[in-house]
């Protein structure tokens, strides 16, 4: 069953990529007079801006050292639990 779902996911992903990157008229708005290429460019711009934002957030978090010691927060919570007696 899981393999079947993965195959469907791949089909949907590749179909979506083809519609966005290749077929401009596939995205034409049926309710208004907007060309498919305008919709494609808008979608790519929004996703491009979101991708750029997440990339800069990743670089910012790496520079702040948030990935240096991923085990520290759980030990800090355990120490806080011992000091205060409050379970989180």
Closest to 34 (Cα-Cα) out of 23, 43, 25: 25
Q: How far, in Å, CA of 5 to CA of 27, rounded?
A: 25
| pLDDT tens-digit readout, 7-35 | 656 665 556 665 555 555 555 666 666 66
Taking each helix axis from N to C end, the angle separating 2-21 and 36-63, rounded to the nearest 10 degrees, works out to: 110
| pLDDT tens-digit readout, 49-78 | 999 999 999 999 999 988 888 888 888 888
Amino acid 47: pLDDT? 92
Q: Where are the domains of the chain?
A: 2-84
DSSP-based three-state secondary structure for 32: coil
pTM comes to 0.53
């Amino acid at each position: 069953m899981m393999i079947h779902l993965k195959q469907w996911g791949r089909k949907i992903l590749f179909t979506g990529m083809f519609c966005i990157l290749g077929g401009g008229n596939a995205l034409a708005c049926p309710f208004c007079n907007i060309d498919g290429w305008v919709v494609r460019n808008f979608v790519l711009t929004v996703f491009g801006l979101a991708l750029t934002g997440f990339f800069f957030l990743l670089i910012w978090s790496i520079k702040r050292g948030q990935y240096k010691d991923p085990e520290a927060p759980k030990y800090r919570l355990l120490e806080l639990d011992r000091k205060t007696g409050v379970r989180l």
